[in-house]
Amino acid sequence: MKFTIATSTSAFAACVLASGFEPDDFNVTKALVDNGFDVTGIPGLANLAERSSSSACSLACAALRFSFGNGTVLSEGSAGYDSFTGDYWAAQQAVVNPFCVFKPSSASQVSTVVLLSRLTQCPFAVKGGGHAAFAGGSSIEGGITIALEKFTEKTLSADKKIASVGSGNRWADVYPWIEQYGLEVIGGRISSVGVSGLTLGGGISHYANAHGWACDNIESFEVVTASGIIVEASATQSPDLYWALRGGGNNFGIVTKFNMRTFVQGEMWGGQRAHTEDQWDKVYEAYYNYAVNAEKDTKQAQIVSFALQAGMKIAAEDLEYSEPTPWPAVFDDWKAIPAIIDQTAIANMSTLANQLGAGAPDGVQETYWDRTFKVDRDIFKAFIEIFFEMVPAIQDAAGILPVLSFQAITVPAMEKMQQNGGNALGLDPSDGPIFICNLAILWTDVADNARIMSFSNSLYERLVEEAAKKDLNHDYIYMNYASPYQDVIASYGAANKQRLKSISGEYDPTGVFQVLQPGYFKLEGAPYGAFPV
Ligand SMILES: Cc1cc2nc3c(=O)[nH]c(=O)nc-3n(C[C@H](O)[C@H](O)[C@H](O)COP(=O)(O)OP(=O)(O)OC[C@H]3O[C@@H](n4cnc5c(N)ncnc54)[C@H](O)[C@@H]3O)c2cc1C
Ligand SMILES: *[C@@H]1O[C@H](CO)[C@@H](O)[C@H](O)[C@H]1NC(C)=O
Ligand SMILES: *[C@@H]1O[C@H](CO)[C@@H](O)[C@H](O)[C@H]1NC(C)=O
Ligand SMILES: *[C@@H]1O[C@H](CO)[C@@H](O)[C@H](O)[C@H]1NC(C)=O
């Protein structure tokens, strides 16, 4: 059997748009038939109403296999299934067992799996680069994990202004390719991370000060909606959906292609440096000066992290400059601080992304948490003191590496977020600068999970309490670093949450991406709900 969607779906799209995106009497079976998917020819699907819900996923996976071939579906017990489920960044996701894994190779096949999930009520999850740091982020127990790895397209428009990047790519695939043309796109700082999840949650790059975040540099998204309709969302076409996809995560559809704006970029200068504790007062001061003065030179990017590494307290900054200029003047504060490690060098983005990735191994237990705060001269030191006061509670856990990082969201970056109608994050440049305080912990023994999550939650309670003393708390929580106990969408502000819900009501009136795709940060709350007390 062969399926095509192009003609029938666009006719279908034209007719439903006249009466709202999805009419009240939307017929899922008919939409599948319109996709060329022969519902009556698939055993069990035709008389679905009589079946029990427990067979839903068995039926949906069998239908996918029957229609698209054995090569597109992995079932439990096969070697391909085990190597797929084992291949997530966080070990917590690798123990999740979906009923089957489906690997579509076209937007039309993605459309069909969404409709099939609706018809059978078998739930699903979507896996891009698989770097979500908790179970169910991009995996689903007993459901269908839709793996986007076959969406490997990378093409450059004739005028070289737009790079079309399939949603199964990782930054390791994108940077070396685009750099051949002397161009770059806005993306992640580590090679192994997926294009998809990073961009849909925001996407912080070394170029954020000059260009904004990854989501702000997408010209258009090709997205499969809940009705199975493939939409091209841009500032001029479905602008509401375009806005929602800029930070709204997996709540609006499955993106199959990102059309990214390119810019001219050659080699740059950057890398990591590290310092012992006696230098930290100068480190806090240098970071503060960056956060409040970033507009002085928007070619710069800075992150600073504090870790307990093999019993030793260490601070490490990552400095980046988008010209191949060693030690530009904006880094004078840092240059004056003696370093025990200095890896700064002239390099291209792809090389820097490989180097930075070396410290983020796959396959161990992981947790990420974050909150944002207003920038203040004393807050970094206060936070680091609290962190190291609390860390002894977990420092005996096997293989542990706790890291607390600061990433300023500078005023120029916030200003660039407003381009083309703005994004959904709710950040106002007049409120800036703010900074993300991101906790990242890795460890190896599952037995330590509960106390490490509890430590993380308590740490943020202390940080919020500390910040409250000087009124430095900010509402925004960055989705891509949030823990499954944090309500990210609410942190975008009541008005933005309401707007996101009304856009979801338009494109997904029955809540397919809320109910049938339960994982990750939903419009109405955190993946796991509030942290249990
Ligand atoms: C080592 C490391 C380095 C990182 N570096 C950065 C960085 O430099 N900058 C930054 O901003 N963040 C960074 N992050 C955070 C990163 O952005 C998130 O982990 C992000 O979710 C990863 O995307 P992914 O596609 O790899 O993950 P996945 O787990 O595959 O996806 C994350 C979420 O997005 C959904 N999703 C994936 N693809 C699609 C799609 N096509 N359509 C709809 N929904 C989809 C998934 O269902 C899931 O809910 C880093 C994370 C790690 C672990
Ligand atoms: C839905 O569409 C199918 C296929 O076209 C049709 O057989 C069925 O009767 C329709 N159901 C309703 C309720 O209209
Ligand atoms: C697909 O797998 C089934 C069993 O799982 C087998 O009976 C069938 O022959 C396979 N089809 C192809 C085309 O390989
Ligand atoms: C980027 O740097 C790497 C390592 O030095 C090199 O192999 C590659 O050719 C460079 N790419 C470009 C486009 O210069």
Q: Which two tokens stand for residue 309?
A: 């590494």
Among all chains, which residue has been given the structure tokens 């993946």? 527
Query: Which domain range does residue 261 map to?
Result: 154-265+492-510
Q: Helix 107-120 to helix 56-68 angle, to the nearest 10 degrees?
A: 150
Does 246 share its domain with 278?
A: no
Q: Evaluate the omega torsion of the peptide bond into residue 326 and state whether it is cis, within 30 degrees of 0.
A: no
Handedness of CA 44, 49, 55, 58 (dihedral sign): positive
Whether residues 228 and 287 share a domain: the answer is no
Of all protein residues, whose CA lies closest to atom 6 belonging to ligand 4? 351
Q: Is residue 75 part of a domain?
A: yes
The rounded distance, in Å, linking the Cα atoms of 69 and 57 is: 17
Q: Is the CB of 190 under 6 A from ligand 1?
A: yes
CA–CA dist 199, 446 (Å, integer) = 30
Between the two ends of the chain, the Cα-to-Cα distance in Å is 53
Check whether residue 453 and residue 496 sit in a common domain. no
Q: What per-residue string of b and e applies to 54-90 under the rule 16 or more CB within 10 Å gives b?
A: eebbbbbbbbbbbbbeeebbbbeeeeebeebbeebbb
Ligand 1 atom, smallest distance to 93 CA: 29
Q: Identify whether residues 83 and 132 lie together within a single domain.
A: yes
Phi first, then psi: give them for residue 320, nearest 5 degrees. Answer: -140, 145
Here the CATH number for the domain that contains residue 27 is 3.30.43.10
For residues 421 and 235, the answer to whether their CB atoms sit within 8 Å is yes
Q: How many structural domains comprise the chain?
A: 3
Give 259-273 pLDDT, tens digit per residue.
999 999 999 999 999
Identify the CA nearest to 122 among candidates 104, 106, 148, 98: 98
Pocket test of ligand 4: the residue of 179, 184, 352 to mutate, having most ligand atoms within 8 Å of its CB, is 179
Cα 348 to ligand 4 centre (Å): 6
- Do strands 230-234 and 254-261 pair parallel, antiparallel, or not at all (unpaired)? unpaired
- Ligand 2 within 6 A of 46 CB? no
Say if residue 17 is in the same domain as residue 68.
yes
DSSP label of 525: B
> How far is 147 from 166, CA to CA, in rounded Å?
12
Beta bridge partners of 369: 439
Instruction: Give the domain-ending residue among 100, 117, 147.
Output: 147
**Token output for 230:** 């493939």
Nearest to 493 by CA among 440, 419, 422: 422
Per-residue pLDDT, 50: 52
Looking at the fold, whether 350 and 438 belong to one and the same domain comes out as yes
Q: Ligand 1 centre and the CA of 369: distance in Å?
A: 14
Q: Which residues contact 62 (CB under 8 A, 6 or more apart)?
A: 42, 43, 44
CA distance 112 to 31: 9
Q: List per-residue pLDDT tens for the chain, 533 residues long.
A: 232 233 334 434 444 444 479 999 999 999 999 999 988 777 777 666 555 555 899 999 999 999 999 899 999 988 899 999 999 999 999 999 999 999 999 999 999 999 999 999 999 999 999 999 999 999 999 999 999 999 999 999 999 999 999 999 999 999 999 999 999 999 999 999 999 999 999 999 999 999 999 999 999 999 999 999 999 999 999 999 999 999 999 999 999 999 999 999 999 999 999 999 999 999 999 999 999 999 999 999 999 999 998 889 999 999 999 999 999 999 999 999 999 999 999 999 999 999 987 777 788 999 999 999 999 999 999 999 999 999 999 999 999 999 999 999 999 999 999 999 999 999 999 999 999 999 999 999 999 999 999 999 999 999 999 999 999 999 999 999 999 999 999 999 999 999 999 999 999 999 999 999 999 999 999 999 999 98
Nearest Cα residue to atom 3 of ligand 1: 190
Is residue 280 in some structural domain?
A: yes
Give me the torsion for CA of 107, 112, 115, 116, rounded to 10°.
Answer: -140
Question: Within a 10 A sphere around the Cβ of 278, how many other Cβ atoms?
Answer: 8
Cα torsion angle, 262, 239, 523, 303, sign: positive
345 with 474, same domain: the answer is yes
Answer yes or no: is the C-beta of 30 below 6 A from any ligand 2 atom.
Answer: yes
CA separation for the pair 257, 493 (Å, rounded): 28
Q: Could you write out the DSSP letters of every residue in 181-233?
A: TTEE----SSTTSBHHHHHHH----TTHHHH--GGGGEEEEEEE-TTS-EEEE
162, 287, 373, 413 from 407: Cα distances, Å: 28, 9, 10, 12
116 shares a domain with 75? yes
Residue 165 sits in the same domain as residue 139:
no
| Cβ count within 10 A of residue 475 | 15
